Amino acid sequence: MKTAHDLVAQAKLSINEVSIGDAPHAIQGADVLLDVREADEYANGHIPGAIHMSRGLLEFKLSNDPNLSSRDLKIVLYCKNSGRAALASKALHDMGYMNIQSIAGGFDAWAQAGNPIAKPEPIEFE
């Protein structure tokens, strides 16, 4: 029986991972940057310009959004440390998306490298 670790390792053999050093260039050339972490993780900080689309709903949201249906979109995605992003990359490839890149090391590596982090402004009610 395979473990989650086994599935991630297998996915990483067939996906395109970019190093943290190459990530800003990949993001700049992307049509869309997807954060596949959970909503609370995204709210605590994310890569500027990222759209939140949790891993659990990724395939459904992409299938239902006409703006994201083109299979030649250049998509860069990330998660906390690259496991969920690897699985998401493989799933998108299996769906026919041709230009998928995953950030090696994920958000943790991005933050540790001193790259900018965006945080949503809290809503204040008066």
CATH of the domain at 19: 3.40.250.10
Domain membership flag for residue 125: no
Is 121 among the domain residues? no
The pTM for the full model equals 0.91
Query: How far is Cα 105 from Cα 82, in angstroms, rounded to an integer?
Result: 5
- Order of all β-strands in the sheet with 99-103: 17-18, 99-103, 74-78, 32-35, 51-52
The answer to whether residue 124 is domain-embedded is no
In a domain, 37, yes or no: yes
| Residue 74, in any domain of the structure | yes
- Asked, for residue 118, whether it belongs to a domain, the answer is no
Report yes or no on 89 lying in a domain: yes
Number of domains in the chain: 1
Residue 98, Cα to own-chain centre: how many angstroms? 15
Range of the domain at 75: 4-112
Per-residue pLDDT of the chain (126 residues; tens, 9 = 90+): 989 999 898 999 999 999 999 999 999 999 999 999 999 999 999 999 999 999 999 999 998 999 998 999 999 999 999 999 999 999 999 999 999 999 999 999 999 999 999 987 777 777
